[in-house]
Structure 1
Amino acid sequence: MGNLHFKETVELTLKVIGGKWKPVILCHLTEGTHRFGELKREMPQITQKMLTQQLRELEEDSVIERKIYVQVPPKVEYSLTEYGLTVKQLLNVLSEWGDKHLTMMTDSSNRE
């Protein structure tokens, strides 16, 4: 039973923050509040449509919040929610694993 719960919760985590772009978006937002255009500039390979979709999904899952300023031109800012700040721990673990993997791959290619 414990294994099933583990698998279900890992799957849920990946549903919320998984994919190609969500972790990158979250990394940027751990640095502080960003406007849409700033995020787009920091991730030039993401399309505007994909960025919009990923931000909406993160907002629906209460990981980020969107603040709209009623002004001309319109201004929208994105930031991590208090709950979303907890994702920093997970991103740190992912970064540590990526660092170990990079070292392993580098060592492996040097042996060949």
Structure 2
Amino acid sequence: MKQIPTSLLTLVAGVLIALVSFWVGQNHPLLPEQASEQAALVDNFFNVTIAIATALFIVVQGAILLFAIRFRRRKGDDTDGHCGGRNPENRANFPPRWGTRGANAGSIGFYA
């Protein structure tokens, strides 16, 4: 049995996500009746926003499900994960700590 090419699977998934998100964006009961001439423009913008949000939701939830299945703990493996370094605790805290310091310095410079 031959394996299906990844590019074809990605294309099919993208088309399905686009179709589902477009359908949800056009067929939701979230808007009231139009009461002005500008309401059609606002409604169309809201429909596009709902379609984009639906597509992002499907992609993120699909990735979470995919990685939860793919990287689940195997039978008999009771060890902790290894993040690769001499001291995993310091390695895990390094990027968030410096990232927040950079963001804080940037915001101080912006508001000063």
**Greater share of strand residues, 1 or 2?**
1
Structure in which a larger fraction of residues adopt helix: 2
Q: TM-score, normalised by structure 2?
A: 0.30
